[in-house]
């Protein structure tokens, strides 16, 4: 069994920190081959999708992108309808003219990275309040960002790492004409559904394909029929040779968020407050959505993406709590904190500098009534029903109408909301949203302190006998936000009085006023928590000065390296490091929405028609395990062998190590990847999209 290699490393620093160890494990590349600002390198073939939601890699000279099926799920769903259900049937553009544009989708390239700590840290001191410190950081960062971009069409961001102990500049180039090229049917791209999510063994063809388009000058441009495929600085060659046990593997991508420096106090809050709230609220929301999705093909298409977004983090929260408990993480954190306290107290200067770190953090978690209300507000009201946030977007129009009903502000505010009507109502069912609102607002009422109940709760009690179902039915039916037709009519001649009398709109205002009020209360502990975390992490780095520290993930590009291998999750169970198409077929349940096997796949399996994609053992590998360190945002990241060739796409972590965002478990942490040969086999044998294969650089 191979132990996991911990670390989400900044690619610009691997020459200094990692390359020697990487070469010992089988990497044949130099650091400059991976990250360079002087010539093309691997970094130029990897993009951040939608500012950090996922990762994708370039696999052709014509801007062809490969990512996960779940990273393209929203776009596949948006383009689907009963007559052309791309979720159910898949989608393949056989020509570039058939590729589908996607409003709002983006792909960002990292241009360069720079440590700017020396420009910021000397300007800060411990006498500053949190707000003063933040203002000074923003002021200096703004100057650095402006200087970094100049006249170039770039975006620059200064981000803090190591809990505000270091600052780095990241410069990006972002393309916004990204078109859908291909995706397997959901029965392949999401095979196993929620049952298999976060689990091993997996057999999922979790991939989709997009293409970057740009202006004829090669620069980013808004969608236009005149745009051309982007010519990248570099694209990844693809290997058909596969992998063996203990082979080197690295992942280059944009992991979203980890918090591995979080203390025992924070872990307890996560386990006892955050995760239970997520589980309780989303379980009820998903039950209602699922009931609606079962009513028709149309309803299933409408709510598929919403359900997937909700259920992913729901199951994650369950797994994370189980992992934190079974791995005794709180006790391990306390042991480190005890060691830190002894180290800090053993020296007068250290005690003066770091002695209050843990007490500051502890004080921030002493009373969690406000924080609990904040978590319920986010889950039950802001992310719960959809109509209240949509209605709240009309507030700028309401304010403009009160000031001057004929002003330019009124026109702009009207168009801003009116422009999103069709997109919103296309995948919205009012009755389902009513049920979600009634159920989740009742959960909020039962679990949140009365001082944080919005005023309309009193009306529900006094006039509706605390019957949220009855109240919501009334509220939705009388509101202009109850249907697209009513809103279209309102926007023909918008009036402030209509919004003043619209109770749903007023409820939306009450919700967000209460959210702001809760935010003011939670803000009171922010100074102590921020300062405590900064001192704790700064002290840890000083206490273990000989250790190479990597920063928590923050949607910036990171590299993780390791090897191919299985693992032992519990006594008597040993997992192999790959799965095959045989296992896919064996899992099949005819007609089941999660495990139905496409008929064509079954035929190809029976005839063993694997072509050049078969492994040396004669089977078609579907997925494999490596011990790379990944998290959300890494979805779609390339898995690259020691020669710099693409061998797979990362798409998941394993159930036994769901605590990984808070603490790394060397013996259990695994990265689940779809085998690139399964991807190519699907494109070739299942889709017949030879046009896409012809673009790629494939090494036999």
How is the chain split into domains, by residue range?
Answer: 11-106+176-260+552-699, 109-174, 264-523
Q: How confident is the model at residue 686 (pLDDT cuts 50, 70, 90)?
A: very high
C-alpha–C-alpha distance, residues 229 and 216, integer Å: 9
The whole-model pTM stands at 0.95
- Residue from 246, 175, 240 nearest 211 by CA: 175
Average pLDDT, stretch 669-681?
A: 97
Q: Is residue 169 scored above 80 in pLDDT?
A: yes
Active site residue 367: no
Average pLDDT, stretch 263-287?
A: 98
Q: Which helix H or strand E contains 24, and what residues bound it?
A: helix 19-24
- Residue from 673, 555, 644 nearest 42 by CA: 644
Residues in the chain: 700
Question: What per-residue string of b and e applies to 21-40 under the rule 16 or more CB within 10 Å gives b?
Answer: ebeebbbebebebbbbeeee
Which of 155-164, 394-403, 413-422, 455-464 has the least mean pLDDT? 413-422
Q: Is residue 31 scored above 70 in pLDDT?
A: yes
pLDDT at 129: 83
The answer to whether 596 touches 187, Cβ cutoff 8 Å, is yes
Q: Which helix H or strand E contains 648, and what residues bound it?
A: strand 646-653
pLDDT at 3: 45
11-106+176-260+552-699 in CATH: which number? 2.40.10.120
C-alpha–C-alpha distance, residues 96 and 94, integer Å: 7
Which of 54-68, 297-311, 412-426, 473-487 has the least mean pLDDT? 412-426
Bridge-based pairing of strands 166-175 and 228-229 is unpaired
Active-site annotation holder among 635, 652, 659, 661: 635
Q: What is the dihedral of CA 487, 493, 499, 502, to 10 degrees?
A: -50
Bridge-based pairing of strands 698-699 and 238-239 is parallel
Average pLDDT, stretch 185-212?
A: 97
Active-site annotation holder among 33, 36, 48, 70: 70
What is the secondary structure of 604-646 as a DSSP string? HHHTT--GGG--TTSS-EEEEEE-----TT-TTPEEE-TTS-E
Q: Which pLDDT tens digit goes with each residue over 360-381?
A: 999 999 989 999 999 999 999 9
C-alpha–C-alpha distance, residues 591 and 246, integer Å: 38
The answer to whether 686 touches 188, Cβ cutoff 8 Å, is yes
- Residue from 358, 352, 321, 353 nearest 336 by CA: 358
pLDDT at 2: 39
C-alpha–C-alpha distance, residues 340 and 532, integer Å: 13
Within 13 Å and on the Cβ side, how many CA atoms surround 340?
A: 26
What is the secondary structure of 524-549 as a DSSP string? TTHHHHHHHHHHHHHHHHHHTTTS--
Q: Which pLDDT tens digit goes with each residue over 210-262?
A: 999 999 999 999 999 999 999 999 999 999 999 999 999 999 999 999 999 99
The answer to whether 282 touches 303, Cβ cutoff 8 Å, is no
Q: How confident is the model at residue 405 (pLDDT cuts 50, 70, 90)?
A: low
Residue 224: how many CB atoms within 10 A of its CB?
13
Average pLDDT, stretch 156-162?
A: 97
Q: Which pLDDT tens digit goes with each residue over 554-602?
A: 999 999 999 999 999 999 999 999 999 999 999 999 999 999 999 999 9
Q: Which helix H or strand E contains 118, and what residues bound it?
A: helix 117-120
Structure-token pair, residue 33: 């081959």
The answer to whether 586 touches 277, Cβ cutoff 8 Å, is no
pLDDT at 548: 92
pLDDT at 449: 96
Sign of CA dihedral 410, 413, 418, 424: negative
Residue 99 backbone phi and psi in degrees, to 5: -70, 140
The answer to whether 255 touches 631, Cβ cutoff 8 Å, is yes
Q: Is residue 15 scored above 50 in pLDDT?
A: yes
- Residue from 670, 618, 581 nearest 188 by CA: 581
Question: Alpha helices, DSSP H only, in 327-455?
Answer: 329-345, 348-354, 357-364, 369-376, 387-392, 395-403, 408-418, 421-426, 430-447
**DSSP classification of residue 3:** P
Q: Is residue 1 scored above 60 in pLDDT?
A: no
C-alpha–C-alpha distance, residues 681 and 212, integer Å: 23
Structure-token pair, residue 505: 């709109």
C-alpha–C-alpha distance, residues 552 and 166, integer Å: 12
The answer to whether 323 touches 658, Cβ cutoff 8 Å, is yes
The answer to whether 23 touches 561, Cβ cutoff 8 Å, is no
Q: Is residue 430 scored above 50 in pLDDT?
A: yes
- Computed over every residue of the chain, the mean pLDDT equals 96
C-alpha–C-alpha distance, residues 446 and 281, integer Å: 12
In angstroms, how far is CA 348 from the centroid of its own chain?
44
User: What is each CA distance from 258 to 497, 540, 552, 563, in whole angstroms?
Assistant: 47, 17, 5, 22
Q: Is residue 4 scored above 60 in pLDDT?
A: no
Active site residue 70: yes
Average pLDDT, stretch 23-33?
A: 97
Structure-token pair, residue 304: 């598929």
Residue 538: how many CB atoms within 10 A of its CB?
18
Q: Is residue 33 scored above 70 in pLDDT?
A: yes
Q: Which pLDDT tens digit goes with each residue over 296-351?
A: 999 999 999 999 999 999 999 999 999 999 999 999 999 999 999 999 999 999 99
Q: Which pLDDT tens digit goes with each residue over 107-131?
A: 999 999 999 999 999 999 988 888 8
Average pLDDT, stretch 634-655?
A: 98
Q: Which residues contact 130 (CB under 8 A, 6 or more apart)?
A: 526, 527, 530, 531
Sign of CA dihedral 554, 558, 563, 565: positive
Between 153 and 445, name the one with better pLDDT. Answer: 445
Radius of gyration, CA atoms only, the chain: 26
The answer to whether 299 touches 334, Cβ cutoff 8 Å, is no
In angstroms, how far is CA 502 from the centroid of its own chain?
36
């Amino acid at each position: 069994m191979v132990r996991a290699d911990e670390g989400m490393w900044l690619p610009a620093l691997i020459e200094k920190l990692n390359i020697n160890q990487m070469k010992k494990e089988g990497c044949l590349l130099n650091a400059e081959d991976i990250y360079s600002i002087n010539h093309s390198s691997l970094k130029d073939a990897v993009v951040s999708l939608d500012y950090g939601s996922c990762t994708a890699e370039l696999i052709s000279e014509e801007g062809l992108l490969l990512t996960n099926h779940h990273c393209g799920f929203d776009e596949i769903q948006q383009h689907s309808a009963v007559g052309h259900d791309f979720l159910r049937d898949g989608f393949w553009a056989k020509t570039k003219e058939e590729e589908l544009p996607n409003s709002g989708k983006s792909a960002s390239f990292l241009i360069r990275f720079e440590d700017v700590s020396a420009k910021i840290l000397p300007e800060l001191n411990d006498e500053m309040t949190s707000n003063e410190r933040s203002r000074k950081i923003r002021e200096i960062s703004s100057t650095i960002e402006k200087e970094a971009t100049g006249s170039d069409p770039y975006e620059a961001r200064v981000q803090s790492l190591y809990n505000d102990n270091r600052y780095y500049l990241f410069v990006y180039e972002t393309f916004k004409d990204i078109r859908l090229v291909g995706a397997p049917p959901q029965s392949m791209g999401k095979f196993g559904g929620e049952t298999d999510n976060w689990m091993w063994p997996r057999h999922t063809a979790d991939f989709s394909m997009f293409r970057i388009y740009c202006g004829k000058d090669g620069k980013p441009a808004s969608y236009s029929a005149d745009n051309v495929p982007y010519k990248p600085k570099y694209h990844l060659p693809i290997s058909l040779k596969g992998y063996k046990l203990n082979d080197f593997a690295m992942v280059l991508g944009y992991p979203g968020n980890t918090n591995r420096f979080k203390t025992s106090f924070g872990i307890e809050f996560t386990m006892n407050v955050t995760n239970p709230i997520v589980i309780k609220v989303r379980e009820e929301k998903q039950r209602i959505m699922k009931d609606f999705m079962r009513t028709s093909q149309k309803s299933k298409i409408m709510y598929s993406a919403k359900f997937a977004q909700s259920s992913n983090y729901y199951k994650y929260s369950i797994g994370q709590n189980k992992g934190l408990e079974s791995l005794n993480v709180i006790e391990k954190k306390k042991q480190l904190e005890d060691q830190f306290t002894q180290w800090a107290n053993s020296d007068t200067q250290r005690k003066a500098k770091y002695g209050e770190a843990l007490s500051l953090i502890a004080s921030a978690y002493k009373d969690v009534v406000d924080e609990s209300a904040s978590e319920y507000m986010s889950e039950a009201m802001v992310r719960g029903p959809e109509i209240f946030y949509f209605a709240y977007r009309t507030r700028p129009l309401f304010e403009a109408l009160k000031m001057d009903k004929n002003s330019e502000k009124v026109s702009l505010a009207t168009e801003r909301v009116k422009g999103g009507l069709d997109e919103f109502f296309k995948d919205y069912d009012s009755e389902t949203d009513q049920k979600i609102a009634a159920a989740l607002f009742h959960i909020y009422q039962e679990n949140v302190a009365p001082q944080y109940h919005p005023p309309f709760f009193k009306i529900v009690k006094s006039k509706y006998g605390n019957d949220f179902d009855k109240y919501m039915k009334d509220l939705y039916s009388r509101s202009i936000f109850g249907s697209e037709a009513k809103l279209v009519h309102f926007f023909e001649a918008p009036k402030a009085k209509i919004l003043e009398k619209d109770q749903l709109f007023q409820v939306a205002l009450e919700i967000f006023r209460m959210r702001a009020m809760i935010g003011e209360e939670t803000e009171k502990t922010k100074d102590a928590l921020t300062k405590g975390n900064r001192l704790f992490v700064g002290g840890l780095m000083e206490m273990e000065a000989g250790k190479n520290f990597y920063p928590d993930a923050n949607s910036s590009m990171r590299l993780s390296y390791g090897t191919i291998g299985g693992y032992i999750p519990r006594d008597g169970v040993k997992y192999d490091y790959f799965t095959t198409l045989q296992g896919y077929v064996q899992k099949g349940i005819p007609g089941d929405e999660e495990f139905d096997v496409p008929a064509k796949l079954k035929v190809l399996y029976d005839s063993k028609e694997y072509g050049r994609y078969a492994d040396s053992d004669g089977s078609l590998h579907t997925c494999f395990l490596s011990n790379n360190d990944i998290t959300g945002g890494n979805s779609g990241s390339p898995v690259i062998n020691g020669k710099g060739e693409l061998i797979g796409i990362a798409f998941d972590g394993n159930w036994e190590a769901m605590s990984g965002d808070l603490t790394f478990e060397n013996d259990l942490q695994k990265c689940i990847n779809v085998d690139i040969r399964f991807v190519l086999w699907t494109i070739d044998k299942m889709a017949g999209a030879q046009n896409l294969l012809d673009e790629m650089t494939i090494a036999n």
